[in-house]
Structure 1
């Protein structure tokens, strides 16, 4: 299966959902390359961006599961990895 690199943006508008997000990200930690979290107190939200490297189905599964958490909105953007590209 082809591998892709993706950026998933996560907006947490309900702070009680943060633990669920962290648990889910821990479950997918083997494919997470990097993570950055930024509190946006003036807008009462937290923003997390994660970079993942995985098969498209796994990226979609993570994004979909994130989207089903109440108080969360997320979007993923994927890029295809060229054959022979070094990691």
Structure 2
């Protein structure tokens, strides 16, 4: 299957969910090429991910994250990405 490059934005509304979220990210580490965390003064946090994987791999990651209580996730993928 063809690889895509994309991004995922994760909004953490419940800090109790962070351990489960980090376990999911670790399980999908092979497609994560960049990660940036931004704490906010309102108690929420935002994590942005840069991803490089197939649509199935990226969908698996976002699907697992989306099932965690207190976590929201959205992703965007680009077509016609030239693989190295």
Q: TM-score band, normalised by the shorter chain?
A: over 0.9
TM-score normalised by length of structure 1: 0.90
Runs of 4+ in structure 1 displaced over 4 angstroms? none
Give 2:31's aligned residue. Answer: 31
Count residues in correspondence.
Answer: 84
Question: Considering only aligned residues, what root-mean-square deviation do their CA atoms show, in Å?
Answer: 1.1
What is the deviation of 1:86?
A: 4.9
User: Are residue 8 (structure 1) and residue 13 (structure 2) matched?
Assistant: no
Higher gyration radius (CA) = 1
Residue aligned with 2:69, SS: coil
Gap regions ≥5 residues in structure 1: none
**Under a length normalisation based on structure 2, what TM-score does the superposition of the two structures give?**
0.93
Q: Which residue of 1 aligns with 2:44?
A: 45
Q: How far has the Cα of 1:81 moved from its partner? A: 3.4
Query: 3-state DSSP class of the match of 1:43?
Result: coil
